[in-house]
């Protein structure tokens, strides 16, 4: 029981840090872009996927980090930072507005570039 509470606390704190970072970056990018297109979350999904590739690649190929650190960084911070529920909401709003091509570009761009970013990061770590 104590171990489960510790795990939940680690993920909880990390998620708060990641969520706050997502909110800050999304607000900043949205203000800079001045657009109805969700550039903030698109950027967050790509950057977050790249960061997850770095973290996962490091653990897989270079390190034996403790489980608590893995939970804090991957499940907590990056899980709180990247969110496809927000992605789905943004795509749905674009569809509701009748911006079908923007919604398609947003969905494809998010998925394709996020997976490519993750693969690039893992390849980078593997090459070190």
Q: Which residues make up each annotated binding site?
A: 79, 82
Which 8-state DSSP code applies to residue 36?
S
Query: Residues annotated in the binding site for Na(+), as ranges?
Result: 79, 82
Q: What is the largest CA-CA distance in the chain?
A: 50
Q: What is the CA radius of gyration of the chain?
A: 16
- Are 52 and 116 in contact by the 8 Å Cβ rule? The answer is no
63 φ, ψ to 5°?
-145, 155
Q: How far is CA 98 from the centre of its chain?
A: 27
- Which residues does 25 contact at the CB level (< 8 Å), separation at least 6? 40, 43, 44, 47
């Amino acid at each position: 029981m104590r171990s489960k509470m510790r795990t939940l606390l680690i993920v909880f704190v990390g998620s708060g840090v990641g969520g706050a970072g997502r909110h800050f970056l999304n607000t900043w990018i949205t203000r800079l872009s001045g657009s109805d297109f969700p550039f903030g979350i698109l950027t967050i999904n790509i950057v977050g996927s790249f960061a997850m590739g770095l973290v996962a690649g490091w653990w897989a190929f270079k390190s034996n980090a403790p489980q608590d650190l893995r939970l804090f960084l991957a499940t907590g911070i990056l899980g709180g930072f990247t969110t496809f529920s927000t992605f789905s909401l943004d795509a749905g709003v674009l569809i509701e507005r009748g911006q079908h091509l923007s919604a398609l570009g947003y969905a494809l761009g998010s998925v394709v570039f996020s997976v490519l970013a993750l693969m690039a990061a893992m390849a980078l770590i593997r090459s070190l």
